[in-house]
Structure 1
């Protein structure tokens, strides 16, 4: 089983969010935030039935249900880093992200509305 991500230090998250808001974020800030918010989602929605992908940074399996072990999972959510950070912080609503194409979701249990913002 792959190692679970760990939430980042709250001070580091706050600093990275400040740089993102100021338009001065570096790749390391984006990576830290993506992995942090995916780790928080893993904690709040434990399970292995839905894979959430934020390429090229990370992917996690979450939400109770049928466990996925090999190949392409039956339920997949994929988005870019900026959209994921906006969803996690509440700057963007799940339905808006899906309708605009910023999130691609297929399969059962792929509505993360009840888990967001983080």
Structure 2
């Protein structure tokens, strides 16, 4: 069964709250999941698994489909790094250089897919 889609209004509100000084865990979780949802919608596919524990994970990007075991292409980071990358407040190269993103596999490079900030919202 597919996850319920987070609406744009709820997602945008959660992003704004999550980027505030003292976000709630719920706002952070919703913002992370919403931005993962946008990435999966814009980069449809099943080649790369993007993980932001403990809040969510999606498969995205066109290419060979992964179905069992550990995926060959995995990107993992914490919520604050994902929020910064997905909203354009941070660059992929800077996050990689600082070691805040763990990326394995030849397709595990998200720079062409970031930021994923929704329309009608400033990064």
**The two structures share one fold, judged by TM-score above 0.5:** yes
Counterpart in the other structure of 1:39: 37
Secondary structure at 1:40 match in 2 = helix
Counterpart in the other structure of 1:77: 75
CA deviation string 1:12-48 (max 9, x = no partner): 3333333333312100001101100000000111110
Q: Which has the higher helix share?
A: 1
- Runs of 4+ in structure 1 deviating by more than 3 angstroms, as ranges, are none
**Which one of the candidate residues 12, 18, 21 is aligned to 2:19?**
21
Q: How many residue pairs align between the two structures?
A: 116
1:97-116 → structure 2 map (5 Å cutoff): 97-116=95-114
Structure 1 residue runs without a partner (length 5+): none
Give, in whole Å, the separation in 2 of the partners of 1:115 and 1:39: 13
Counterpart in the other structure of 2:60: 62
Give, in whole Å, the separation in 1 of the partners of 2:56 and 2:62: 20
Q: Does residue 90 of structure 2 align to residue 92 of structure 1?
A: yes
Q: Does residue 49 of structure 2 align to residue 51 of structure 1?
A: yes
Give, in whole Å, the separation in 2 of the partners of 1:78 and 1:71: 16
CA RMSD of aligned residues (A): 1.6
Secondary structure at 2:80 match in 1 = helix
Q: TM-score, normalised by structure 2?
A: 0.86
Counterpart in the other structure of 2:2: 3
Distance 1:47 1:21, change over 3 A: closer
